Amino acid sequence: MNDRPILSVTGLGARVAEEDSDILKGVDLAIRPGEIHAIMGPNGSGKSTLAKVIAGHPGYEATTGSVVFQGENLLEMEPDERAQAGVFIAFQYPVAIPGVSIANFLRTALQARLENGDELDLFDFQELLMERMELLHMEPSFAQRAVNDGFSGGEKKRNEILQMAVLKPSLAVMDETDSGLDIDALKVVAHGVNTLKAENPAMSVLLITHYQRMLNYITPDVVHVMVKGRIVESGGPEVATGLEERGYEEYRRARVV
Protein backbone atom coordinates (compact mmCIF):
# COMPACT_ATOMS: atom_id res chain seq x y z
CA MET A 1 0.00 0.00 0.00
CA ASN A 2 1.01 3.53 -0.74
CA ASP A 3 2.48 5.22 2.28
CA ARG A 4 1.37 8.73 1.47
CA PRO A 5 -1.96 9.50 3.13
CA ILE A 6 -4.88 10.40 0.87
CA LEU A 7 -6.30 12.39 3.77
CA SER A 8 -4.27 14.12 6.48
CA VAL A 9 -6.04 15.85 9.30
CA THR A 10 -3.63 17.74 11.54
CA GLY A 11 -4.44 19.53 14.77
CA LEU A 12 -7.96 20.27 13.51
CA GLY A 13 -10.12 22.51 15.64
CA ALA A 14 -13.64 23.32 14.53
CA ARG A 15 -16.89 24.76 15.77
CA VAL A 16 -20.42 25.53 14.74
CA ALA A 17 -20.14 28.76 12.77
CA GLU A 18 -20.32 31.87 14.97
CA GLU A 19 -20.30 29.95 18.23
CA ASP A 20 -17.64 30.42 20.85
CA SER A 21 -16.32 27.03 21.78
CA ASP A 22 -14.70 24.43 19.60
CA ILE A 23 -16.27 21.02 19.19
CA LEU A 24 -13.15 19.55 17.63
CA LYS A 25 -10.11 20.30 19.76
CA GLY A 26 -7.08 19.17 17.82
CA VAL A 27 -7.88 16.10 15.73
CA ASP A 28 -5.05 14.19 14.04
CA LEU A 29 -5.84 11.54 11.49
CA ALA A 30 -4.07 10.06 8.46
CA ILE A 31 -5.81 7.71 6.04
CA ARG A 32 -3.81 5.99 3.33
CA PRO A 33 -5.19 4.85 0.00
CA GLY A 34 -7.31 1.72 0.36
CA GLU A 35 -7.55 1.88 4.14
CA ILE A 36 -10.76 1.61 6.09
CA HIS A 37 -10.78 3.69 9.27
CA ALA A 38 -13.53 3.74 11.84
CA ILE A 39 -14.12 6.60 14.25
CA MET A 40 -16.19 5.61 17.23
CA GLY A 41 -17.36 7.79 20.02
CA PRO A 42 -20.27 8.72 22.23
CA ASN A 43 -22.91 11.27 21.25
CA GLY A 44 -21.52 14.77 21.25
CA SER A 45 -17.92 13.66 20.86
CA GLY A 46 -17.55 15.58 17.58
CA LYS A 47 -17.58 12.63 15.15
CA SER A 48 -20.24 14.10 12.88
CA THR A 49 -18.66 17.55 13.10
CA LEU A 50 -15.51 16.02 11.61
CA ALA A 51 -17.57 14.63 8.69
CA LYS A 52 -19.22 18.01 8.12
CA VAL A 53 -15.92 19.89 8.19
CA ILE A 54 -14.47 17.45 5.66
CA ALA A 55 -17.54 17.99 3.45
CA GLY A 56 -17.37 21.77 3.78
CA HIS A 57 -20.74 22.32 5.45
CA PRO A 58 -21.30 26.09 5.67
CA GLY A 59 -22.62 25.77 9.21
CA TYR A 60 -19.22 24.73 10.54
CA GLU A 61 -15.86 26.43 10.55
CA ALA A 62 -12.35 25.18 11.12
CA THR A 63 -10.47 27.25 13.71
CA THR A 64 -7.06 25.60 13.79
CA GLY A 65 -5.09 22.95 11.95
CA SER A 66 -5.39 21.64 8.43
CA VAL A 67 -7.13 19.07 6.27
CA VAL A 68 -5.13 17.96 3.24
CA PHE A 69 -6.69 15.72 0.61
CA GLN A 70 -4.43 14.35 -2.12
CA GLY A 71 -2.02 17.21 -1.52
CA GLU A 72 -4.71 19.92 -1.65
CA ASN A 73 -5.88 22.13 1.19
CA LEU A 74 -9.44 20.92 1.51
CA LEU A 75 -10.48 23.73 3.84
CA GLU A 76 -10.02 26.29 1.08
CA MET A 77 -12.23 24.42 -1.37
CA GLU A 78 -15.98 24.81 -1.94
CA PRO A 79 -18.10 21.74 -1.21
CA ASP A 80 -18.56 21.07 -4.94
CA GLU A 81 -14.82 21.30 -5.54
CA ARG A 82 -14.21 18.78 -2.77
CA ALA A 83 -16.76 16.43 -4.31
CA GLN A 84 -15.18 16.78 -7.73
CA ALA A 85 -11.77 16.10 -6.22
CA GLY A 86 -13.08 12.71 -5.05
CA VAL A 87 -14.52 13.22 -1.56
CA PHE A 88 -17.92 11.71 -0.87
CA ILE A 89 -19.92 12.00 2.34
CA ALA A 90 -22.79 9.63 3.02
CA PHE A 91 -24.91 11.80 5.27
CA GLN A 92 -26.67 10.81 8.43
CA TYR A 93 -29.76 12.87 7.61
CA PRO A 94 -29.81 13.58 3.86
CA VAL A 95 -32.45 16.17 2.91
CA ALA A 96 -35.31 15.72 0.45
CA ILE A 97 -35.28 17.40 -2.96
CA PRO A 98 -38.95 17.25 -4.04
CA GLY A 99 -39.64 16.83 -7.73
CA VAL A 100 -36.08 15.76 -8.57
CA SER A 101 -35.65 12.08 -9.35
CA ILE A 102 -32.57 10.23 -8.15
CA ALA A 103 -31.70 9.58 -11.80
CA ASN A 104 -31.95 13.27 -12.70
CA PHE A 105 -30.00 14.23 -9.58
CA LEU A 106 -27.16 11.86 -10.43
CA ARG A 107 -27.14 12.88 -14.06
CA THR A 108 -26.76 16.51 -13.00
CA ALA A 109 -24.00 15.58 -10.56
CA LEU A 110 -22.08 13.73 -13.29
CA GLN A 111 -22.74 16.47 -15.83
CA ALA A 112 -21.24 18.96 -13.36
CA ARG A 113 -17.99 17.00 -13.46
CA LEU A 114 -17.56 17.47 -17.21
CA GLU A 115 -15.69 20.26 -18.91
CA ASN A 116 -17.76 23.25 -20.00
CA GLY A 117 -19.53 22.45 -23.22
CA ASP A 118 -19.35 18.68 -22.87
CA GLU A 119 -22.70 16.93 -22.64
CA LEU A 120 -23.16 13.73 -20.73
CA ASP A 121 -24.44 11.08 -23.11
CA LEU A 122 -27.88 10.06 -21.86
CA PHE A 123 -27.59 6.47 -23.00
CA ASP A 124 -24.18 6.06 -21.39
CA PHE A 125 -25.58 7.48 -18.18
CA GLN A 126 -28.61 5.21 -18.24
CA GLU A 127 -26.36 2.21 -18.77
CA LEU A 128 -24.07 3.23 -15.92
CA LEU A 129 -26.98 3.82 -13.57
CA MET A 130 -28.57 0.46 -14.35
CA GLU A 131 -25.26 -1.34 -13.95
CA ARG A 132 -24.65 0.35 -10.59
CA MET A 133 -28.14 -0.47 -9.35
CA GLU A 134 -27.76 -4.07 -10.37
CA LEU A 135 -24.46 -4.26 -8.52
CA LEU A 136 -26.23 -3.09 -5.36
CA HIS A 137 -29.31 -5.26 -5.96
CA MET A 138 -31.63 -2.28 -6.28
CA GLU A 139 -34.86 -2.11 -8.24
CA PRO A 140 -34.53 0.23 -11.27
CA SER A 141 -37.77 1.97 -10.25
CA PHE A 142 -35.96 3.33 -7.18
CA ALA A 143 -34.06 5.79 -9.39
CA GLN A 144 -37.33 7.34 -10.56
CA ARG A 145 -38.33 8.42 -7.06
CA ALA A 146 -37.75 11.99 -5.91
CA VAL A 147 -34.55 12.28 -3.85
CA ASN A 148 -35.26 11.33 -0.21
CA ASP A 149 -38.84 12.57 -0.55
CA GLY A 150 -40.91 10.46 1.85
CA PHE A 151 -38.10 7.93 2.13
CA SER A 152 -37.74 5.64 5.14
CA GLY A 153 -34.45 5.77 7.03
CA GLY A 154 -33.27 2.68 5.18
CA GLU A 155 -34.19 4.08 1.77
CA LYS A 156 -32.27 7.27 2.48
CA LYS A 157 -29.15 5.28 3.29
CA ARG A 158 -29.56 3.14 0.17
CA ASN A 159 -29.82 6.31 -1.85
CA GLU A 160 -26.53 7.52 -0.33
CA ILE A 161 -24.87 4.23 -1.21
CA LEU A 162 -26.22 4.39 -4.77
CA GLN A 163 -24.84 7.91 -5.18
CA MET A 164 -21.49 6.72 -3.91
CA ALA A 165 -21.55 3.85 -6.40
CA VAL A 166 -22.26 6.20 -9.30
CA LEU A 167 -19.89 9.00 -8.28
CA LYS A 168 -17.00 6.60 -7.48
CA PRO A 169 -15.11 8.66 -4.89
CA SER A 170 -11.57 8.00 -3.76
CA LEU A 171 -12.54 8.81 -0.16
CA ALA A 172 -15.93 7.87 1.24
CA VAL A 173 -16.93 9.23 4.62
CA MET A 174 -19.87 7.36 6.11
CA ASP A 175 -21.43 9.61 8.72
CA GLU A 176 -23.36 7.35 11.11
CA THR A 177 -24.78 5.58 8.10
CA ASP A 178 -25.79 2.78 10.43
CA SER A 179 -27.87 4.85 12.83
CA GLY A 180 -31.56 4.14 12.90
CA LEU A 181 -31.24 1.13 10.62
CA ASP A 182 -32.67 -2.31 11.28
CA ILE A 183 -30.35 -5.21 10.78
CA ASP A 184 -31.50 -5.90 7.19
CA ALA A 185 -30.94 -2.32 6.12
CA LEU A 186 -27.59 -2.33 7.88
CA LYS A 187 -26.58 -5.38 5.87
CA VAL A 188 -27.62 -3.68 2.63
CA VAL A 189 -25.43 -0.69 3.46
CA ALA A 190 -22.50 -2.86 4.51
CA HIS A 191 -22.89 -4.98 1.40
CA GLY A 192 -22.82 -1.83 -0.69
CA VAL A 193 -19.66 -0.50 0.92
CA ASN A 194 -17.92 -3.88 0.69
CA THR A 195 -18.93 -4.34 -2.94
CA LEU A 196 -17.62 -0.93 -3.93
CA LYS A 197 -14.47 -1.48 -1.91
CA ALA A 198 -13.90 -4.83 -3.64
CA GLU A 199 -14.43 -3.19 -7.00
CA ASN A 200 -12.02 -0.37 -6.22
CA PRO A 201 -9.51 -1.50 -3.54
CA ALA A 202 -7.79 1.92 -3.65
CA MET A 203 -10.89 3.63 -2.29
CA SER A 204 -10.44 4.79 1.29
CA VAL A 205 -13.30 4.69 3.74
CA LEU A 206 -13.89 6.60 6.95
CA LEU A 207 -16.71 5.05 8.96
CA ILE A 208 -18.16 7.24 11.65
CA THR A 209 -20.28 5.27 14.04
CA HIS A 210 -21.63 5.15 17.54
CA TYR A 211 -22.01 1.40 17.59
CA GLN A 212 -19.72 -1.49 17.08
CA ARG A 213 -22.33 -3.52 15.14
CA MET A 214 -21.50 -1.91 11.78
CA LEU A 215 -17.99 -3.22 12.23
CA ASN A 216 -19.34 -6.76 12.28
CA TYR A 217 -20.00 -6.32 8.58
CA ILE A 218 -17.24 -3.96 7.50
CA THR A 219 -13.80 -4.74 8.83
CA PRO A 220 -11.71 -1.64 9.53
CA ASP A 221 -7.94 -1.47 9.32
CA VAL A 222 -7.78 1.18 12.02
CA VAL A 223 -10.22 2.10 14.77
CA HIS A 224 -10.12 5.48 16.50
CA VAL A 225 -11.97 6.46 19.61
CA MET A 226 -13.09 10.07 19.77
CA VAL A 227 -14.14 11.69 23.01
CA LYS A 228 -14.81 15.39 23.56
CA GLY A 229 -13.34 16.51 20.30
CA ARG A 230 -10.12 14.52 20.43
CA ILE A 231 -8.98 11.13 19.25
CA VAL A 232 -8.04 9.41 22.49
CA GLU A 233 -7.09 6.01 21.23
CA SER A 234 -6.22 4.39 17.92
CA GLY A 235 -5.56 0.75 17.13
CA GLY A 236 -6.74 -2.33 15.26
CA PRO A 237 -10.24 -3.83 15.22
CA GLU A 238 -9.69 -5.01 18.79
CA VAL A 239 -10.22 -1.44 20.01
CA ALA A 240 -13.82 -1.67 18.83
CA THR A 241 -14.35 -4.99 20.52
CA GLY A 242 -13.03 -3.55 23.78
CA LEU A 243 -15.41 -0.61 23.47
CA GLU A 244 -18.34 -2.91 23.00
CA GLU A 245 -17.48 -4.60 26.30
CA ARG A 246 -16.51 -1.61 28.43
CA GLY A 247 -18.27 1.36 26.83
CA TYR A 248 -16.94 4.93 26.59
CA GLU A 249 -16.99 5.58 30.31
CA GLU A 250 -13.30 4.99 31.01
CA TYR A 251 -12.31 7.43 28.26
CA ARG A 252 -14.67 10.01 29.63
CA ARG A 253 -13.20 9.77 33.11
CA ALA A 254 -9.62 9.71 31.98
CA ARG A 255 -9.91 12.64 29.60
CA VAL A 256 -12.04 15.17 31.35
CA VAL A 257 -10.66 18.52 30.30
The alpha carbon of 240 is separated from its chain's Cα centroid by a whole number of angstroms, namely 19
Min. distance of Cβ 238 from another protein in angstroms?
33
Query: Cβ 85 to another protein, closest distance in Å?
Result: 9
Pattern of binders to another protein over 203-232, x per CB under 8 A? ------------------------------
Which one of 4-12, 90-98, 204-212, 242-250 is the stretch in contact with another protein (CB under 8 A)?
90-98
Window 122-161: contact mask with another protein (x via CB under 8 A): ------------------------x---------------
| Smallest gap from residue 99 Cβ to another protein (A) | 3
CB nearer to another protein: give 40 or 128: 128
Least separation in angstroms between CB 128 and another protein: 15
Question: Which of 113, 137, 187, 246 forms a contact with another protein (CB under 8 A)?
Answer: 113
Q: Is 220 exposed, middle or buried (0-12, 13-18, 19+ CB in 10 A)?
A: buried
Taken as a whole, the chain contains a residue count of: 257
Q: Which of 98, 117, 150, 201 binds another protein (CB under 8 A)?
A: 98
String marking each residue 161-180 x if it binds another protein according to CB under 8 A:
--x---x-------------
Residue among 91, 27, 16, 23 nearest 58 (CA): 16
| 203 close to 6: Cβ distance less than 8 angstroms | no
User: Residues 97, 120, 130, 232: which binds another protein (CB under 8 A)?
Assistant: 97
The interface mask with another protein, positions 56-85, x = CB under 8 A, is xxxx------------------xxx-xxx-
| Residue 11 in the binding site for another protein (CB under 8 A) | no
Determine the angle formed by the axes of helices 153-167 and 183-199, rounding to 10 degrees.
Answer: 0
Q: Cβ closer to another protein: 141 or 257? A: 141
**Would you say 133 or 225 has its CB closer to another protein?**
133
Q: Tell me: does residue 237 bind another protein (CB under 8 A).
A: no
CA torsion, points 137, 139, 142, 143, in degrees to nearest 10?
Answer: 80
Q: Contact positions toward another protein, by CB under 8 A? A: 55-59, 78-80, 82-84, 89, 91, 94-95, 97-100, 104-105, 108-110, 112-113, 146, 163, 167
